[in-house]
C-alpha cells in the first residue's frame, strides 16, 4: 500500500506545470496479472520554463519497464523511476519531445478500485481524482489537458468488448485469438477523465438525434442477460440529453455515448468523456428487483454524469480545490432535472432532508470544511456532501439572487468563455457578476467559510402602526481552524400569511433589501419593518429552503399548525409540520430521560390524520409529511448528550400516538388505494406506493400485529412494496415466525442477485436494539457477503453504522469495537471505502459520556494501528482532533 507521507496540499501553492502534454497515445495489452501499458507523451516545455528544468511525473504503485525519449532509451543516470514518481533530471532542451514509458500492472490484485482493475472479470478504470497515475507516469492533475488516442488489445474470447473515450477509429483481429480497437477523443481532457473498459458484456443500444441533427449512438453495457434491466437508465439518458438542450442549450458533442455498469465501484458513477462508468446499482432496475427510490436514483445519477459533459469535461477544474466548480454545479443541474421530471415540491423536500441528514452534521462536526477547501491531505476525502450538496445550494442561491434569466445568461457566458479551460470558482462567480452588475464578493463567502449559519429571528406585530417587525441576527459557529466568521449574504425567501392563508403584501418595507419575496440578510443584525399590515400575519420563512441555514425562531405551536395547514408554499407546510414533530420528539426524549411517559399534543396528532386524508395533496407529499424525523435527525436537534436508546423510545411513542388516534382513517385510505394494473416507475405511481407503505407502517403499529405486512409481503408484485413489507416484518415483528419466514423467502428468491440481496442485508442491519451487533457480525459471514465489494459493505456495515442508532451506539461500546475492527480490515484493501465508512463516527462528541468514551476508545484503536492508509488516517485524526 501507498505510504502516508503526511503531506498537506494548499491552494495557495498552485502553480501551472513547467511542461504540457499535448498528445497522449496509450497502448494497453490486457492480461489479468500482467498488463503492459505503453504511453507515448508529446511533451512541450512552456516558453517560460528554462531549458533543462527537471520533469517530474506522478506515479502510484507503478512498475516501470522502460523509458525512451524520441526513440532512444535513456541511460540509467538520466532518470529515476520509483513506484511513486518518474523524474527526468535533465530533459532535452528542445521545446518538444516524445516520452515513451512502459509500465506493467496487475489489475487482478488491484483492490483499491482506483486505476485499472478487474470487476467480475471485466477490465475497467477509475481515474478521478488520482487514479491515472496508477496506470502510467503522468502529470496527473486536472489542469493538464491532452488529446488521447488509445489502443486496447485483449483476447477476443474473454473481452469481445473493447471501449475507451471518444470515437472508435479502428479495430481488427490479431494472431492468437486476440483483437484490438483504437479509440480517439478529439477533445483535450485531463487524465482523470480517461477510461477504458474491456470484457464480455451485454449491450442495450439506442440512439439520440441532437437538436442540430447530429445522430449519437447510445450504448449501455451490462452483464449478459441483464440488458432489459437497463431500459429505464436508457430512457433517463435520452431525457437528460433533451433537457440539457432545452434548459441550457447544450448539445452532446461526440458520435457515441457509452455507459458501462460494473459491480465493484467506490462511488455512484464517473463522467469519463464519452464513456461513463457506473456502479451497477445506478443502472440496473426493473419492477421486481428495484424500488422506486432506486429508479429515482438512477434517473438522477444518469443525468448527473451526462450533465458533466459540459460542466466538468468541456470546462474542467484548475485543481482539486475547485472540485465544487463541477460537482456543486452539476448536482444543482441534476436536481433541477429531477424537479422537472417529477414533482418539484416533493423533490425539494427530499433534497432538504438529505442535506440536513448528511451535510449539516458534517458542517457542524470535526470534518467541517468550506465548499471550496483550502487544504487537504487526501483529496478522496473531499468528495463530500459539503462539496456536492452544499455546493449545489450555493449555485441555487446565485439563481435566487439574480433571477432565472440573469442566471441563464451567466451560465451561457461561463460556457462561452471557459469552454476548453480548467477553471476556478472565481471564474464562475465573475460571469454572474458581469451579466448582472451585482457585486458577489460577500456572497462568495459561501464558498470559503465553513459552518452552517444560524439565523435567529424574533417577530412582533404592532396593530396601532400596522407594522410587522422582524429582528434578525445571523451567526456562523466556529469550525476547525476557522474561529472568526464574517457575516454572509443569506437570501431568505418568505411569506407573510394572512388569516385566510393567502400571502399579505406589505405597502412598504425597510431595514434590509426585500425583493421578489426574498429578504437579503447581509449584516450581522437587521431589523426589518413591513408596513401596512392590517392584522398579525404568520411568518413562513426560508421557503423552498432558499438558504442552507438553521433558523432559530420562537413560533407558537398554533402558528406552526396554521402553516402546516395553510401555507401556500408546499415546502413551507412540510417544514412547519416537521418542526412540530421535532419539537414534540425532543420533549418526549426529555420525558423518557426523566423516567416519564411522553405525552403529545392532540392538535398535532389530528393534523397528521388530516394531511394523510387530504386528497388535494399529492400522495408523495402526504407520505413525506407523515414520515417522522429519523432518530439521527432528532439526535442532531438535541445536539448534546445524546442517548440513542431514549430517542428510539420517544420516536416510537409518537408513532404509536399518531397510529392509535388515526387508525381508522389510515386504514380507509390504505384500503382504498388499490394499486392494481401494470407497474409504472413514474413519480405519481411511486408517490402512491410511498403513501401506502408509510400508512402500512402506522397501521402495523396500530394493529400490533404483522397481518397486513405479511399479506403485503406475500402478494406484492414489485420490489418497493415487497421490501417495505419485509422491513416492517423484520423491524417490528422479529418474534413473529412470519418475519423469519419472509427473510428466508427473500433469500431463496434473490440469493443469486447481489444487488437485491443488498436490501436484505440493509433491512437486517437496521433492526433496532442491542442484538444488532451480533446479527451484523453473523451476516458478515453470510455466503453472499464480501468485505471487498463496496455495495455489500455499504448495505451491511454502512447502514448499520449510520441508520441504526440503537444497534450501533451501544453503551458497552461493542458496536464501535466491531466497527473499528471491520474498518481496519477493509482499509487493507480499499482505503477509500474504509475512510468513507469511518465518517459515521463524526458526531461522537455529542454522545452522552459513557458512549462518548467508548467511541473515543474505538477511534483510538484505529488511530494507533500500524499501516493505516492516508485516507483513513486523515479522517480519524480530524475526527479525534
Ligand atoms: N466525479 C464523480 C461524480 O460524478 C465522482 C467520482 C469520484 N470518485 C472517487 N473515487 N473519488 O460525482
Ligand atoms: Zn459529479
Give the model confidence (pLDDT) of 519-566 as tens digits: 999 999 999 999 999 999 999 999 999 999 999 999 999 999 999 999
Question: Hey, is 21 helix, strand or coil?
Answer: strand
Nearest CA to ligand 1 atom 4: 270
Question: Hey, is 482 helix, strand or coil?
Answer: strand
Q: In the predicted model, is pLDDT for residue 5 greater than 80?
A: no
What is the tens place of the pLDDT at every residue in 161-195?
999 999 999 999 999 999 999 999 999 999 999 99
305 tagged catalytic: yes
H helices within 7-134, ranges in order? none
C-alpha 241: how far from chain center? 21
Q: In the predicted model, is pLDDT for residue 1 greater than 70?
A: no
Is 251 contained in some domain?
yes
Nearest CA to ligand 1 atom 8: 128
| Tally of CB atoms within 10 A around 828 | 15
Task: Please tell me the predicted confidence (pLDDT) of residue 76.
Answer: 86
Look up the CATH number of the domain holding residue 220: 3.30.2010.30
Task: Please tell me the predicted confidence (pLDDT) of residue 3.
Answer: 62
Nearest CA to ligand 1 atom 11: 380
Q: Cβ contacts of residue 265 below 8 Å, gap of 6+?
A: 113, 119, 126, 277, 278, 279, 280, 790, 791
Nearest CA to ligand 1 atom 7: 128
Please state, in angstroms and rounded to a whole number, the distance separating the CA atoms of residues 125 and 496: 54
Q: Cβ contacts of residue 2 below 8 Å, gap of 6+?
A: 60, 61, 84, 869, 870
Please state, in angstroms and rounded to a whole number, the distance separating the CA atoms of residues 163 and 632: 43
Q: In the predicted model, is pLDDT for residue 674 greater than 80?
A: no
* Cβ pair 665, 607 in contact under 8 A: no
What is the tens place of the pLDDT at every residue in 388-430?
999 999 999 999 999 999 999 999 999 999 999 999 999 999 9
562 lies in the same domain as 688 = yes
Looking from the CA of residue 379, the nearest atom of ligand 1 is 11
Which backbone phi and psi does 711 adopt, to 5 degrees? -65, -45
Is 843 contained in some domain?
no
H helices within 97-163, ranges in order? none
Q: In the predicted model, is pLDDT for residue 811 greater than 90?
A: yes
**Residue among 140, 142, 307, 383 to mutate when testing ligand 1 (max atoms within 8 A of CB):** 383
Look up the CATH number of the domain holding residue 466: 2.60.40.1840
- Give me the sign of the Cα torsion angle 108, 112, 116, 120: positive
Please state, in angstroms and rounded to a whole number, the distance separating the CA atoms of residues 308 and 383: 15
365 lies in the same domain as 302 = no
Which of 704, 723, 738 is where one domain is finished? 704
Is 309 contained in some domain?
yes
Q: Which of 153, 227, 299, 305 is catalytic?
A: 305
231 lies in the same domain as 273 = yes
Nearest CA to ligand 1 atom 6: 270
What is the tens place of the pLDDT at every residue in 817-864?
999 999 999 999 999 999 999 999 999 999 999 999 999 999 999 999
Look up the CATH number of the domain holding residue 612: 1.25.50.10
Task: Please tell me the predicted confidence (pLDDT) of residue 512.
Answer: 85
* Cβ pair 347, 338 in contact under 8 A: yes
**β-pair partners for 260:** 221, 277
Please state, in angstroms and rounded to a whole number, the distance separating the CA atoms of residues 869 and 838: 12
Question: Hey, is 690 helix, strand or coil?
Answer: helix
Please state, in angstroms and rounded to a whole number, the distance separating the CA atoms of residues 216 and 234: 13
Task: Please tell me the predicted confidence (pLDDT) of residue 2.
Answer: 61
What is the tens place of the pLDDT at every residue in 39-95?
999 999 999 999 999 999 999 999 999 999 999 999 889 999 999 999 999 999 999
* Cβ pair 652, 587 in contact under 8 A: no
| CA distances to 8, 250, 399 from 416, in Å | 35, 11, 19
Distance, CA 379 to ligand 2 centroid (Å)? Answer: 14
Looking from the CA of residue 388, the nearest atom of ligand 1 is 12
Is 293 contained in some domain?
yes
* Cβ pair 459, 468 in contact under 8 A: yes
Q: In the predicted model, is pLDDT for residue 879 greater than 80?
A: yes
Question: Hey, is 463 helix, strand or coil?
Answer: coil
Q: Which domain covers residue 420, as residue numbers?
A: 323-448
Number of domains in the chain: 4
The angle formed by the CA atoms of residues 258, 329 and 282, to the nearest 5 degrees, is 40
271 lines ligand 1 (CB under 6 A): yes
Is 21 contained in some domain?
no
Distance, CA 331 to ligand 2 centroid (Å)? Answer: 7
523 lies in the same domain as 483 = yes
| CA distances to 12, 31, 153, 155 from 175, in Å | 53, 16, 11, 10
284 lies in the same domain as 385 = no
Which of 685, 704, 723 is where one domain is finished? 704
Percent of the chain residues past pLDDT 70, beyond the cut: 100
Nearest to 150 by CA among 119, 121, 193: 193
Distance, CA 329 to ligand 2 centroid (Å)? Answer: 9
Is 784 contained in some domain?
no
Ligand number, closest to the Cα atom of 325: 2
* Cβ pair 217, 257 in contact under 8 A: yes
Please state, in angstroms and rounded to a whole number, the distance separating the CA atoms of residues 368 and 363: 4
What is the tens place of the pLDDT at every residue in 321-347?
999 999 999 999 999 999 999 999 999
| pTM for the whole structure | 0.98
- Helices 425-436 & 391-402 angle (0-180, nearest 10): 10
603-612 mean pLDDT: 97
* Cβ pair 628, 651 in contact under 8 A: yes
593 lies in the same domain as 685 = yes
567 lies in the same domain as 615 = yes
344 lies in the same domain as 364 = yes
Distance, CA 133 to ligand 1 centroid (Å)? Answer: 16
Which of 704, 719, 742 is where one domain is finished? 704
609 lies in the same domain as 689 = yes
380 lines ligand 1 (CB under 6 A): yes
- Helices 323-341 & 231-248 angle (0-180, nearest 10): 100
Distance, CA 311 to ligand 2 centroid (Å)? Answer: 9
Please state, in angstroms and rounded to a whole number, the distance separating the CA atoms of residues 303 and 338: 9
382 lies in the same domain as 341 = yes
Is 31 contained in some domain?
no
Classify the complex by whether its ipTM is higher than 0.90, answering yes or no: yes
**Which of 75-84, 154-163, 273-282 has the least mean pLDDT?**
75-84
348 lies in the same domain as 332 = yes
Q: In the predicted model, is pLDDT for residue 4 greater than 90?
A: no
Is 142 contained in some domain?
no
- Give me the sign of the Cα torsion angle 376, 379, 384, 386: positive
444 lies in the same domain as 490 = no
Please state, in angstroms and rounded to a whole number, the distance separating the CA atoms of residues 223 and 541: 49
Beta strands 146-155 and 19-29, pairing class = parallel
Q: Edge to edge, what strands does the sheet with 85-88 contain?
A: 55-58, 85-88, 79-81
Look up the CATH number of the domain holding residue 420: 1.10.390.10
Give the mean pLDDT of the chain: 97
Amino acid at each position: 500500500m501507498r505510504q502516508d507521507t503526511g503531506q498537506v496540499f494548499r491552494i495557495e501553492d498552485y502553480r501551472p506545470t513547467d511542461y504540457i502534454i499535448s498528445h497522449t497515445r496509450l497502448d494497453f495489452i490486457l492480461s489479468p496479472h500482467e498488463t503492459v501499458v505503453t504511453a507515448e507523451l508529446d511533451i512541450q516545455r512552456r516558453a517560460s520554463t528554462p531549458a533543462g528544468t527537471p520533469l517530474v511525473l506522478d506515479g502510484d504503485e507503478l512498475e516501470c519497464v522502460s523509458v525512451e525519449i524520441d526513440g532512444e532509451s535513456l541511460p540509467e543516470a538520466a532518470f529515476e523511476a520509483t513506484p511513486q514518481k518518474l523524474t527526468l533530471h535533465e530533459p532535452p532542451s528542445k521545446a518538444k519531445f516524445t516520452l515513451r514509458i512502459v509500465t506493467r500492472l496487475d489489475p487482478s490484485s488491484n483492490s483499491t478500485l482506483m486505476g485499472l482493475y478487474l470487476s467480475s472479470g471485466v477490465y475497467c478504470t477509475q481515474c478521478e481524482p488520482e487514479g491515472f497515475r496508477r496506470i502510467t507516469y503522468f502529470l496527473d492533475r486536472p489542469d493538464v489537458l491532452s488529446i488521447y488516442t488509445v489502443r486496447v488489445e485483449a483476447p477476443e474470447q474473454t473481452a469481445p468488448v473493447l471501449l475507451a473515450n471518444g470515437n472508435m477509429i479502428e479495430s481488427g483481429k490479431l494472431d492468437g485469438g486476440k483483437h484490438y480497437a483504437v479509440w480517439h477523443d478529439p477533445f483535450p481532457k485531463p487524465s482523470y477523465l480517461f477510461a477504458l473498459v474491456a470484457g464480455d458484456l451485454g449491450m442495450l443500444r439506442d440512439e439520440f438525434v441532437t437538436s442540430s441533427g447530429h445522430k449519437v449512438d447510445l450504448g449501455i453495457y451490462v452483464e449478459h442477460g441483464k440488458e432489459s434491466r437497463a431500459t429505464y437508465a436508457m430512457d433517463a439518458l435520452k431525457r437528460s440529453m433533451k433537457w440539457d438542450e432545452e434548459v441550457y442549450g447544450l448539445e452532446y458533442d461526440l458520435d457515441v455515448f457509452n455507459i458501462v455498469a460494473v459491480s465493484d465501484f467506490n462511488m455512484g458513477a464517473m463522467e469519463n468523456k464519452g464513456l461513463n462508468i457506473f456502479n451497477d446499482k445506478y443502472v440496473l432496475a426493473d419492477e421486481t428487483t428495484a424500488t422506486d427510490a432506486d429508479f429515482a436514483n438512477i434517473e438522477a445519477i444518469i443525468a448527473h454524469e451526462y450533465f458533466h459533459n459540459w460542466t466538468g469535461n468541456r470546462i474542467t477544474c484548475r485543481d482539486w480545490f475547485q472540485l465544487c466548480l463541477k460537482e456543486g454545479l452539476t448536482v444543482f443541474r441534476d436536481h433541477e432535472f429531477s424537479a422537472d421530471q417529477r414533482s418539484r415540491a416533493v423533490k425539494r423536500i427530499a433534497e432538504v432532508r438529505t442535506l440536513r441528514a448528511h451535510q449539516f452534521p458534517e458542517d457542524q462536526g470535526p470534518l467541517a470544511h468550506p465548499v471550496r477547501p483550502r487544504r487537504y491531505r487526501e483529496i478522496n476525502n473531499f468528495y463530500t456532501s459539503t462539496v456536492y450538496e452544499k455546493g449545489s445550494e450555493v449555485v441555487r442561491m446565485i439563481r435566487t439572487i439574480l433571477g432565472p434569466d440573469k442566471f441563464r445568461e451567466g451560465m451561457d457566458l461561463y460556457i462561452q468563455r471557459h469552454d476548453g479551460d480548467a477553471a476556478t470558482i472565481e471564474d464562475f462567480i465573475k460571469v454572474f457578476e458581469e451579466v448582472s452588475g451585482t457585486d458577489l464578493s460577500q456572497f462568495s463567502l459561501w464558498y470559503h467559510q465553513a459552518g452552517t449559519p444560524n439565523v435567529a429571528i424574533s417577530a412582533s406585530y404592532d396593530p396601532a402602526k400596522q407594522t410587522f417587525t422582524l429582528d434578525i441576527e445571523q451567526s456562523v459557529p466556529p469550525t476547525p481552524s476557522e474561529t472568526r466568521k464574517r457575516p454572509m449574504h443569506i437570501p431568505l425567501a418568505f411569506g407573510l400569511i394572512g388569516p385566510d392563508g393567502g400571502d399579505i403584501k406589505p405597502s412598504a418595507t425597510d431595514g434590509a433589501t426585500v425583493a421578489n419575496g426574498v429578504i437579503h440578510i447581509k449584516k450581522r443584525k437587521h431589523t426589518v419593518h413591513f408596513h401596512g399590515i392590517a392584522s398579525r400575519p404568520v411568518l413562513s420563512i426560508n421557503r423552498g429552503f432558499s438558504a442552507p441555514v438553521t433558523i432559530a425562531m420562537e413560533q407558537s405551536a398554533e402558528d406552526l399548525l396554521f402553516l402546516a395547514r395553510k401555507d401556500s408554499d408546499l415546502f413551507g407546510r412540510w417544514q412547519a409540520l416537521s418542526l412540530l414533530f421535532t419539537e414534540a420528539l425532543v420533549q418526549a426524549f426529555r420525558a423518557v430521560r426523566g423516567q416519564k411517559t411522553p405525552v403529545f399534543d392532540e392538535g398535532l396528532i389530528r393534523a397528521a390524520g388530516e394531511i394523510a386524508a387530504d386528497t388535494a395533496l399529492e400522495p408523495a407529499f402526504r407520505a413525506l409529511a407523515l414520515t417522522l424525523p429519523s432518530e439521527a435527525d432528532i439526535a442532531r436537534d438535541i445536539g448534546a448528550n445524546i442517548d440513542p436508546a431514549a430517542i428510539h423510545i420517544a420516536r416510537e411513542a409518537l408513532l404509536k400516538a399518531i397510529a392509535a388516534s388515526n387508525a381508522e382513517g389510515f386504514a380507509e385510505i390504505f384500503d382504498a388505494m388499490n394499486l392494481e394494473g401494470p407497474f409504472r416507475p413514474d413519480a405519481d405511481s411511486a408517490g402512491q406506493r410511498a403513501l401506502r407503505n408509510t400508512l402500512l407502517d402506522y397501521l402495523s403499529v396500530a394493529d400490533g400485529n404483522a397481518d397486513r405486512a405479511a399479506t403485503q409481503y406475500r402478494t406484492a408484485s414489485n420490489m418497493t412494496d415487497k421490501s417495505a413489507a419485509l422491513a416492517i416484518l423484520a423491524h417490528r415483528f422479529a418474534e413473529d415466525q412470519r418475519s423469519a419466514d419472509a427473510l428466508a423467502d427473500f433469500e431463496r428468491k434473490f440469493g443469486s442477485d447481489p444487488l437485491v440481496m443488498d436490501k436484505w442485508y440493509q433491512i437486517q442491519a437496521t433492526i433496532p436494539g442491542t442484538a444488532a451487533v451480533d446479527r451484523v457480525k453473523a451476516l458478515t459471514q453470510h455466503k453472499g457477503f464480501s468485505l471487498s465489494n463496496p455495495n455489500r459493505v455499504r448495505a451491511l456495515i454502512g447502514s448499520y453504522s449510520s441508520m441504526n442508532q440503537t444497534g450501533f451506539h451501544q453503551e458497552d461500546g461493542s458496536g464501535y469495537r466491531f466497527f473499528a475492527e471491520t474498518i481496519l480490515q477493509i482499509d487493507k484493501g480499499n482505503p477509500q471505502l474504509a475512510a468513507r465508512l469511518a465518517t459515521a463516527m463524526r458526531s461522537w462528541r455529542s454522545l452522552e459520556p459513557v458512549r462518548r468514551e467508548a467511541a473515543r476508545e474505538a477511534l483510538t484503536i484505529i488511530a494507533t494501528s500500524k499501516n493505516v492508509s492516508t485516507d483513513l488516517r486523515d479522517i480519524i485524526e480530524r475526527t479525534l482532533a
